[in-house]
Amino acid sequence: MNSIAPNTTPGASTGTVSFAPVSTVTTATQTDPIPRFAAVTPPSDCTELNDCGASFFPVLQATARNPLQVTAAAGSGQVAAGTIQVGNTGGGVLGWTATINYTTGSGWASVSPAFGLDNGLIIPFVNPSSLQPGTYQATVLITGGPLGSTISIPLTLTVTAPVSSVIIKSITDSADFRQAAVVPGSFASVWGSHLGGQTVSVTFNNIAAELLFTGPQQINLRIPAALAGQTSAQMVVTADGVSSAPFTVQLTAVAPAIFTPGVLNQDNTINSTSNPAAMGSVLQIFGTGMPDSGGSFTVMVPNHANLTPIYAGAAPGIPGMQQVNVALPSDLQGATVNLTICVMGTANQQSCSLPEAVAVKP
């Protein structure tokens, strides 16, 4: 090695040192005459130098402020797992490194920063994006000091089932949007978030529904008629391959609901305040949630509680929609009247629609 003469200005000296390969031979032979190197950790020489416990040596210290434990859903992104405080409780300058030793799986954790001097703050990160649900364990190893002291801190990641971004909030009929039990074969609207997509499907007890409209917050559909007779069903919305959690839908035999606008005058024009129906004329009322045939229908208007429809049943050419034709009494008062359709359901119980305002004229 080059040397630097004493009492000179500061300078630098360079050189190289080479070592023979590590040897495990303990006895000299013709091919291993001098067993010089062994793969062992060198013992401390402090007893020889008389500096055991000297305060000028760096001393590694590392503690986690809280247990490094994280719970995250499968498919979610990277998240911090806590913090580790690193310090030097001795003298000199402490260089340290931080690494991950995996017990379960691999590649799902990292640390930042991975090295430093003296005091520092390490943030471990976990990433469950490619992991299946389960518990994953690892150890954060912080190494530093003149003898390579190592401190181990456990790291645990619990991966839960993925959380669907497709969320169902409610289901109503598609006519008056009343939140109540819906009828197999009738029109209904599903409300929620992230319901839209390039490919959308809705199933009830694994039976596909006919979709009429799909949007981010609303789906209009026809409930499968094959569910007739059942009292509930599990509904699942799938948008672009992502499925919602099952949503329990209450079913019933009849639940009349009138569309708005859903009343036509006798001349097939839409009833409105600017186009009222004449007294004694026939109204055509369109709704859903009623029997296509064989039901016991009545229509109620003020002072007339049991008007008998001229026709009540399926609306021609529109599965899921029903039509009720009824003649208006000639003694109605006022410019508008509230009209209600009632249908006899199971167990001899009557179910009625919400009132629908109808414009009338003398």
Both tokens assigned to 62: 């590392």
Q: Which SS3 state, helix, strand or coil, does residue 48 take?
A: helix
- As beta bridge partners, residue 171 has 190
pLDDT tens digits, one per residue of 317-344: 999 999 999 999 988 888 899 999 999 8
Q: Which of 130-139, 161-170, 199-208 has the lowest mean pLDDT?
A: 161-170
Q: Which fold has domain 257-361?
A: Immunoglobulin-like (2.60.40)
How many Å apart are CA 318 and CA 35, to the nearest integer? 96
pLDDT tens digits, one per residue of 261-315: 999 999 999 999 999 999 999 999 999 999 998 789 999 999 888 899 999 999 9
**Of 247, 213, 206, nearest in space to 227 by CA:** 206
How many Å apart are CA 345 and CA 312, to the nearest integer? 15
CATH of 167-250, one of 2.60.260.20, 2.130.10.10, 3.30.430.20, 2.60.40.10: 2.60.40.10
Q: Are 325 and 297 in contact (CB under 8 A)?
A: no
Confidence of residue 161 (pLDDT cuts 50, 70, 90): confident
Confidence check: pLDDT of 44 > 90: no
How many Å apart are CA 17 and CA 56, to the nearest integer? 27
Confidence check: pLDDT of 34 > 90: no
> Quick one: CA dihedral 224, 226, 230, 235, positive or negative?
negative
- The phi, psi pair for 155, rounded to 5°, reads -130, 125
pLDDT tens digits, one per residue of 54-78: 666 788 989 998 899 999 988 888 9
Residue 289's CB: how many other CB atoms inside 10 A?
Answer: 33
How many Å apart are CA 197 and CA 88, to the nearest integer? 56
Same topology for domains 60-160 and 257-361, yes or no? yes
Both tokens assigned to 28: 């000299």
Residue 352 DSSP label: E
- As beta bridge partners, residue 95 has 117
- Mean pLDDT on 94-98: 91
- Mean pLDDT on 342-361: 88
**Strand 282-288 relative to strand 322-327: parallel, antiparallel, unpaired?**
antiparallel
Q: Are 139 and 103 in contact (CB under 8 A)?
A: yes
Q: Is 50 left (phi over 0), alpha (psi -120 to 50) or beta?
A: left
Q: What's the pLDDT at 1?
A: 47
How many Å apart are CA 125 and CA 140, to the nearest integer? 11
Residue 301 host element (H or E)? strand 297-301
CATH of 60-160, one of 2.40.100.10, 3.30.450.40, 2.60.40.10, 3.90.110.10: 2.60.40.10
Per-chain mean pLDDT for the chain = 88
Any idea which residue has 């789906």 for tokens?
Answer: 219
Q: Which of 5-14, 177-186, 259-268 has the lowest mean pLDDT?
A: 5-14
Confidence of residue 13 (pLDDT cuts 50, 70, 90): low
Confidence check: pLDDT of 11 > 70: no
Q: Are 255 and 231 in contact (CB under 8 A)?
A: no
Q: Which of 16-30, 110-124, 295-309 has the lowest mean pLDDT?
A: 16-30
Domains of the chain by residue range: 60-160, 167-250, 257-361
Q: Are 233 and 227 in contact (CB under 8 A)?
A: yes
Q: Measuring CA to CA, how many Å separate 282 from each of 6, 55, 56, 304, 333?
A: 120, 104, 104, 15, 17
Task: Supply the DSSP string of 103-126, one letter for each residue.
Answer: SSSSSSEEEESSEEESSEEEEEEE
Question: The pTM is what?
Answer: 0.60
